[in-house]
Amino acid sequence: MDYSQTYLADKVGLSFQQFQKYEKGANRISASKLHEFARLLDVPVSFFFDDMPPEMKAAGRARTPAISSDENPFDRPQVQEFVRAYRQIGDPSVRKAVFQAVKAISRSITNA
């Protein structure tokens, strides 16, 4: 598309060095940053995954638990209450810590 790395980095609020780290795979890119790049380039987010090897796509699906069509976990009152409480946490660092703790607990239970 003939955009420079500096131009793209600037448009999404990154330094040139950070952009290069993403490009080289030294750092992972967040979903929100990937979305910003897709909007900037006027492409769907799936554009970035078109050349992904099938085994990587399958590995990603294997980590995501399937939700049956007749069960929406967000309909449960406990889940709604948890989400409301989580969203009321004003400090982003505390919110991130809670998120990481829940993920760790989930992994320890799943792997037990």
Same domain, 103 and 77: yes
Q: How many CA atoms lie within 13 A of 40 on its CB side?
A: 18
Q: What is the pLDDT of residue 69?
A: 52
Q: Is residue 29 part of a domain?
A: yes
Per-residue pLDDT of 58-105, as tens digits, reads 665 555 556 665 677 777 888 888 888 888 998 888 888 998 898 889
CB 30 within 8 A of CB 55: no
3-state DSSP assignment of residue 60: helix
Higher pLDDT, 15 or 46: 15
In a domain, 68, yes or no: no
Q: What is the CATH number of the domain that holds 40?
A: 1.10.260
Residue 53: C-alpha distances to residues 17, 28, 49, 63 (Å)? 27, 18, 9, 16
d(CA 9, CA 16): 6
Query: Which residue range forms the structural domain that includes residue 51?
Result: 5-63
User: In this structure, are 50 and 96 located in the same domain?
Assistant: no
Taking the C-alpha atoms of residue 87 and residue 37, their distance in angstroms, rounded to an integer, is 26
Tally the domains of the chain: 2
pTM: 0.46
Packed helices 92-110 and 77-87: angle between N→C axes, nearest 10 degrees = 140
pLDDT tens per residue, range 10-44: 998 999 899 999 888 888 888 888 899 888 888 88
